[in-house]
Structure 1
Amino acid sequence: MVCAKDEKIEKGRKARIDCTVVASNIHKPLDSVQLFDAVRVIARLLTKARDDFGIKIVLTDHRRRAKKRMIGIQYAKGEKQRIPLYKDLLKVTRKTIGYAIRAEEILARHCSADPLLLGLFGEIKHYGDLARKVYDQTYRRVVQGESVPAGQKVFSIFEDHTDIIIKDRRDTHYGHKICLTGGASNLILNCVILEGNPADTELVETMLDRQNRIYGRYPLKVALDGGFASKDNLVKAKARKIKHVCFSKKRGLKATDMCRSDYVYKKLRQFRAGIESGISWLKRSFGLTRCTWKGFRSFKCYVLASVVAANLLTIARKKLATT
């Protein structure tokens, strides 16, 4: 942004804000598949500890049985067929978790002298803890008939940071919500990677204040998606001396309350639509549809790297156009 400001490509006086979702690199988070993943990963790690390091671990490999139950659940025609298969898969998972707990106690006495064994101990503990969470949520849902809140669920033992994002009460995504601020130059001025699924109405202050920290001043005109609209957010934006605030859906607000006139509101509403094309470009050309890197820290790096790459290309195009 400093380069764009120095080159007079982007002044930051006009901004548009919208949110999108970047998916994690996971398969559909079915409970049966996650239970099988837990069994096979823990069994593989325990087998490695026994065969490669000579640790005496009591282990019965249930991977084949778990896979059969998982496939059976997917092809079951109804609850009458599915529940017994789930119960057997839960039994197998419980046994495997028990092997992992006993292995942790044994490895804790041996791993201090071997860094490789210490790393293996950490992996077994990590996946063991996640396996217990998956077992718990599946048992509560399938056996007890309980509705498990999204905040208490694990959607992947490999990408356990993954959130569930339900957009417009119809589309379900697994990944993280990101909030973007675009400028008149088509540069992405700000990018926030969020945890959980906060409502858009909760993000207005954060995005405006971050814009102030980046440019040392608030923009004169701001256009936001309809999900950000509320009387409270309009008051907060006006308190920051933003002259024109446009929500693409009025939500009971009048255009003249947000902007100087209906004409200004209409122009800002058209300007806001440009962030949609910017998001589409990021997804199509810079891989922002799905993050292929592992871990939440890498997820953040992937998203920011995509945004930076898009900004560099935009700046290069602007400079070429002026030469």
Structure 2
Amino acid sequence: MDFGTFLVQCLNSVQYGLLLFLVASGLTLIFGIMGVINLAHGSFYMIGAYMAFALAPLFGDQFLLMLVAGVVLAAIFGYLLEWAFFSYLYQRDHLQQVLMTYGLILVFEELRSILVGNDVHGVKVPAWLDGSFALGNVMSYPWYRLFASAACIVLAVALYWVVNRTRLGMMIRAGASNRDMVRGLGIDVKRLYRIVFAAGVALAALAGMIAAPMSSVYPNMGASVLIICFVLVVIGGIGSITGALVASLLVGFVDTFGKVFFADLSGIGIYLLMAIVLIWKPEGLMGRRP
């Protein structure tokens, strides 16, 4: 492998890992703070992708404005969904959570089929991000993929700042550590949960919107992402945003270079990584010991 190809694969690994981080960060917040096993989280990624498909003709080349509009709509949707469904799951056992959230997957898929159909769709890359730039004499790299990586980095920094440097972040971290103490301090836990859930839905939908121009928009596209995101949560540590970021980048490199060097065995790479981490640190890379 020459240096140009190696550099392209490194950029692909980072871009893929950062995109997974957007989805996994929302999942680890919801799982770590609210204690809900949300199998429908991958559907929010799918909803974001289909939202990009629906909004793209309305906004044209105003791609950033479309992303903002999609995030706002997804956050409102998440807030209402938590109020209507997930607020009843906190005191239920995990089996009931799994059954209900799996039922939501079926509902979302049926609504998607009714509203959009079962065809595969594409989202056009905005004109100002179309094309690629040279990497060496032979290789080139698309501007849009670089934009996707940069956008994910900005969001990761913003999320880190919110969680670690703001009052809301302090309440989120306290809720992840001891929710009973948070209630005892007089914090409105219901409102906190709805904000966290809305943020998790918005992050997953934003990841889907960013990914849509790079891949096809197709039915049940959230299923594979959901499985990988649960792997990321386990590797990084439940409730840890930093752990989700580190795990996402590790999985990005393992998956990308696994497909390059070990194509026949690439499917087991991330699960082998998870097994190694769990043997070394059962609580995850950044998780707390029980």
**TM-score bucket of the superposed structures, by smaller chain:** under 0.3
More strand, by proportion: 1
By relative contact order (CA 8 Å, sep 6+), the higher-ranking structure is 2
More helix, by proportion: 2
**What TM-score do the two structures reach when normalised by structure 2?**
0.26
**What TM-score do the two structures reach when normalised by structure 1?**
0.24
Larger radius of gyration: 1
